[in-house]
Amino acid sequence: MQISPHKVVLIHYTLTNDEGDVLDSSSADEPLAYIHGMGNIIAGLEDALTGRVVGDSFNVTIPPEEAYGLHDENLVQAVPRHAFEGVDEILPGMQFHAESNEGMQIVTVLEVLEDEVVLDGNHPMAGMTLHFNVEVAGIRDATPEELEHGHVHGPGGHHH
């Protein structure tokens, strides 16, 4: 069975940056499970997996445009410190959920000034070239319920 739309795909992967630093890995956990063709993973990795079969191992480099996009300076902004009412300590690197025009998003604190907090609404990996070492561990047909919900149920997936 080949990887194609509406197949549940299980992969083991190691993700590194240009410097070779490991950013994420499934090696200590169950494989990552996703439904192919539903936008559950970044476009560049999904494209590289299309047509693969169980047991395939490969390396792929994904440019920012096919991953989390380029870094957008318009998503970096200063907000009044009083917007964090009830938060005792704000430190660079902390992440918060914020409501935006596109819905809920995660913002990262870049800098804490006396009266303002500088936030970055870009994905933490925006602008990065990503390097994946991937092994296809399993492929199966998605169930009608999984297709309706848009995600995998059971091992490696979502549990209701």
Model pLDDT for residues 110-158, shown as the tens digit of each residue:
999 999 999 999 999 999 999 999 999 999 999 999 999 999 987 656 5
Q: Which residue has the higher pLDDT, 85 or 60?
A: 60
Assess whether 47 and 87 both reside in one domain: no
The answer to whether the Cα torsion of 112, 76, 70, 95 is positive or negative is positive
Q: Residues 116, 139: one domain?
A: no
- The answer, yes or no, to whether residue 8 has pLDDT greater than 60, is yes
Tell me if 44 sits within 8 A of 63, measured CB to CB: yes
23-62 pLDDT, tens digit each: 999 988 889 999 999 999 999 999 999 999 999 999 999 9
Residue 160 lies in a domain: no
pTM: predicted TM-score of the whole model, two decimal places: 0.83
Does 39 fall in a domain? yes
The CATH number assigned to the domain holding 105 equals 2.40.10.330
Structural domain of residue 80, as residue ranges?
A: 73-120
Residue of 51, 44, 40, 54 whose CA lies nearest to 10:
54
Task: Tell me, yes or no, whether 64 and 15 share the same domain.
Answer: yes
In a domain, 62, yes or no: yes
Which CATH number is 35's domain given? 3.10.50.40
Clarify whether residues 41 and 108 are in a common domain: no
Instruction: Supply the pLDDT for residue 157.
Output: 61
Q: Are 125 and 23 in contact (CB under 8 A)?
A: yes
Number of structural domains (the chain) is: 2
pLDDT at 89: 92
**For residue 111, is it within any domain?**
yes
